[in-house]
Structure 1
Amino acid sequence: MSRLPRRIVCLSTETVEVLYALGEQDRIVGISGYTVIPPQARKEKPKVFAFSTGDLDRILAVEPDLVLCFCDLQADIARDLVKAGVAVHVFNQRSVEDILAMIETVGRLVGAEPRAQALVGELEQLIDATRTAAARLPRRPRVYFEEWDEPAISGIRWVSELIGIAGGEDIFAELASRPSAKDRRLADPLEAARRQPDIVIGSWCGKRFRPEKVAARAGWQDVPAVRNGQLHEIKSAIILAPGPVAIREGLPALAHLFADWARSASE
């Protein structure tokens, strides 16, 4: 008799994405309302929780034998689930290596380790190929990644690492290892302008990036990114979720921006 979990609730989008990628989506009996990848999950699976808030009874109603949580923001619901007698695994992936390790762990939890290893191998090949291509760029752009605008918040660790892999230099790399967004707030918003980024990437956590608002900021007129029209958006769904999508789609998006910038800068 299989002892693997058969009824899994995923309270963040990343584990949903991995289970679908492994062909194990039939085990999912509930998801977070913030799940966006893959799109069909929102149509097929009941939404039983938001992200950090929701009703415990809605989760218990689908009778999970395992709930997959993410980070300290779900510590309270994880505690309540444990008290209710439910098995819980809390992930806390914050780096590219952590993302790959999370995929392997999900694979082990559902008995799909070979498929998980194959997925990790595919992502590692993409990382290696991107790094190799980036090494041929004539120049590395200085990049300001803005996760939120008011207050200004710089990019988290896996984003900073992906910028480096794609051939850029994160101008706030020293802040990237701080997991909490409030700890990545810029004490002085003008500091980003003073660091003279060649490219600004906005990923405003679910709201549309407004390049014209960035260009109109006081003190930004002489920033190279503003002067040269290098203000771009990468949707938060493909780069701020620490799952396969950040590598599969977020990394190529960064690489494309940097290669285009390098070509225009050399003309």
Structure 2
Amino acid sequence: MSALRIVSLLPSATEIVAAVGMADQLVGRSHQCDFPVDVRHLPALSETKVNLDGTSRDIDRRVNEIIAQGVSVYRVDAELLRALKPDVIITQTQCAICAVTPGDLEDALCEWTGMAPILVSLEPNDLADVWGDMRKVGRALGAEGPAHAAIVGLQARLMAIRETANRAARYPTVAAIEWIDPLMAGGNWMPELIEAAGGQSLFATAGQHSPWLDWSALAAADPEVILLLPCGFTIAQSLADIPLLAGRPEWAALTAVREGRVFVIDGHHYFNRPGPRLVESAEMIAEILHPDLFAFGHEGTGWVRLP
């Protein structure tokens, strides 16, 4: 069987392709795909129309301005996509703001000449969907066996975290913040990760989209631990947004803030990519919540305690 030509327009899908042993058959990626590091040399087929400089408040305003115009927040290089002649294109329908969708490919696909590529669209809402998407990618690439093996390994690691967390004296309440201004709680698979790592997730329900969060609700719940993991933000970007939180009168009164249990996590590479590294994401929560039980070594690179 000749090698496939794969284009992945979703960071988590790129990581899934690598997990099933087919990274060497990738010929193109999205502008967001940066792991494994070897994929960075591949041509990027997309770009965002949003200026990502500034605070979460600035970015939210710019995104809403584009959406109000009824257009996508992404551009896809249709000419380059056709030139790469992919056999398989992987995209997603879970979030039109987070990554390229099939709708963004319409111009390229409607003018396609020759055999059209297989379009694989992922839409994960919880961990079961993530495993299902890994199977879907495996089937599309003829790598069902490696996909199954990868899933089994990831599930075993997650189960080991869960079993160790069961030894904890108690599970603290946790607020996962997926966006800082306006406030959004982490939904979808994040409540499952928190529970597996030995925490009680507040505000969101597993399998449901991330909800907007009122400051009054955050203050009333008064979580014991706050995880700041804004979608697409590195640790440095999130730290730069702390004044938006500190400027709120409710912030200083929160138990997690007063007792030094606010943690800033790399939301660019972890948590918001529904693929293999969700297990590393669970590891981070586990060592944050229960340092007496876990020490995976992610502190300093994957997360830091807010000074």
Same fold (TM over 0.5): yes
Using the aligned pairs only, state the percent identity.
27
| 1:261 CA drift (Å) | 8.4
CA distance in 2, matches of 1:262, 1:64: 46
Is the alpha carbon distance of 1:226 and 1:21 closer, same or farther for their aligned partners in structure 2, counting shifts above 3 Å? same
Residue by residue over 1:207-261, the C-alpha shift from the partner in whole angstroms, topping out at 9 and shown as x without a partner, is: 32238533553123332201110110121111110010111x1010011011038
Q: Which residue of 2 aligns with 1:152?
A: 183
Matched, 1:48 2:45: yes
| 1:81 CA drift (Å) | 4.7
8 A contact 1:238–1:245 mirrored in 2: yes
* Structure 2 letter corresponding to 1:109: A
Using structure 1 for the length normalisation, give the TM-score: 0.87
CA distance in 2, matches of 1:261, 1:76: 48
* Structure 2 letter corresponding to 1:172: F
Matched, 1:130 2:157: no
Using structure 2 for the length normalisation, give the TM-score: 0.76
- Equivalenced residue count is 254
* Structure 2 letter corresponding to 1:200: I
Is the alpha carbon distance of 1:18 and 1:133 closer, same or farther for their aligned partners in structure 2, counting shifts above 3 Å? same
Match of 1:71 among 93, 115, 119: 93
Match of 2:219 among 193, 196, 217: 193
8 A contact 2:287–2:293 mirrored in 1: no
Matched, 1:167 2:198: yes
Matched, 1:103 2:134: yes
**Partner-residue secondary structure (3-state), 2:284:** helix
Q: Which residue of 2 aligns with 1:240?
A: 272
Q: Which residue of 1 aligns with 2:51?
A: none
8 A contact 2:78–2:107 mirrored in 1: yes
Structure 1 runs not aligned, ≥5 long: none
RMSD of aligned C-alpha atoms? 2.2
Q: Which residue of 1 aligns with 2:20?
A: 22
| 1:54 CA drift (Å) | 2.2
Moved more, 69-78 or 13-22: 69-78
Is the alpha carbon distance of 1:185 and 1:255 closer, same or farther for their aligned partners in structure 2, counting shifts above 3 Å? same
Pick the structure with more helix per residue. Answer: 1
Q: Which residue of 2 aligns with 1:33?
A: 31
8 A contact 2:29–2:45 mirrored in 1: yes
Structure 2 runs not aligned, ≥5 long: 49-73, 295-307
**Partner-residue secondary structure (3-state), 1:136:** coil
CA distance in 2, matches of 1:81, 1:127: 39
CA distance in 2, matches of 1:220, 1:260: 25
